[in-house]
A and B are shown apart, each in its own frame.
Chain A
Amino acid sequence: MSRASKVVFATVAAASLLILKPVLAHHSFAAAFDESRPLNLEGVVTKVELVNPHSWVWIDVTNEDGTVTNWGMEGGPPVNLFRNGITKNTLPVGSEIRVFGYQAKTGENKGVGVFFEYPDGRKVFLGGSAPGADGR
């Protein structure tokens, strides 16, 4: 490789790193979830797994035709949810909850949550990888 082509190569490599940076910021979100498939689900909590590295809350959602679908919603690690006030006591099985998020790329009944909304209108951010889940 000539000196000139080395300079060109290094410049292109450095420039592409700069361009990639904002994309990489949401890598774990983009790897798994689809920003073009937003979810707005209302249902009853069936299982709460406040586990590392990501928490999961499972919700039975009654569809328009009366059938019930169990959805799994991913949140941040337990400590993030704890800071936002979600514990096994504040979100017991049987709670009615609305959740906003994005569906898994696989098309399964799974997604990543942005925030929960309690029936009284209180919103709690899920502190996970979804855009906006940190409440900022």
Chain B
Amino acid sequence: MSDNVARVMSILGFLEWLSATSGSVALRESHYFFLAVLTVHVLTLSVFAGMAAIIDLRLLGLAMRQVPASQIVAQLVPWATGGFIVMVTSGSLLFYSAPLERSGNLFFRTKLVLLVLAGLNVFVFHKTVYGRVADWDIDRVPPASARLAGGVGLALWAGIIVLGRMMAYQDYWFDG
């Protein structure tokens, strides 16, 4: 057995074990808890994505242009972070309820890739152009690299949300 095959087998083995744990079984067989988690996931997603969209639109120079960019970021990031934490927690529970189905879902896999890219986008933005925010804070239209970060962020999150919704239709797009 090659190292790669062994590695995949062990991931699969872990997911099989995870899916047989009592918490995972209880979650997928629950009457209300699963539905509550699903609802919380969508609600907190809208809090996070709503805040992120306003920040991105400011970076694009399309919204709240008279407010300094750093003020928008300072006021909205705490809400975005709170939404993000509950969104990721509820999302992890949804994964935990059916680890094998979720990990085999092509929409989910693509969504994870876009999530990593969205994280990188934020990281690069903060390490580069946002470090010099004092230079362009009150510009109605921020510099090109800030606009790029805003546009990329908007596009990635639109994609992530659509992919999340599409996860339910995997079986009807690909052989289930």
Interface residues of A, Cβ cutoff 8 Å to B: 28, 31-32, 50-53, 77-79, 82, 104-106, 108, 110
Contact at A53–B34, with CB atoms within 8 Å?
Answer: yes
Determine whether the beta carbon of B168 is less than 8 Å from that of A28: yes
CA distance A79 to B29 in the complex (A): 9
Q: How far is the CA of A51 from the CA of B175 in the complex (A)?
A: 20
Nearest A residue (CB) for B101: A51
Extra A-B contacts (18), CB below 8 Å, given A77-B35, A79-B35:
A31-B169, A32-B169, A32-B172, A51-B28, A52-B28, A52-B29, A52-B34, A52-B35, A52-B38, A53-B34, A53-B168, A78-B31, A79-B31, A79-B32, A104-B172, A106-B171, A106-B175, A106-B176
Q: A77-B35, A78-B30, A78-B31 are in contact. Are A52 and B97 (CB under 8 A)?
A: yes
Report the bound CA distance from A50 to B27 in whole Å: 11
Report the tally of A-B residue pairs with Cβ distances under 8 A: 38
B-side interface size class:
10 to 19
Are A82 and B172 in touch, CB under 8 angstroms?
no
Residue numbers of B with Cβ under 8 A of A are: 27-32, 34-35, 38, 97-98, 168-169, 171-172, 175-176
Nearest CB in chain A to that of B97: its residue: A52
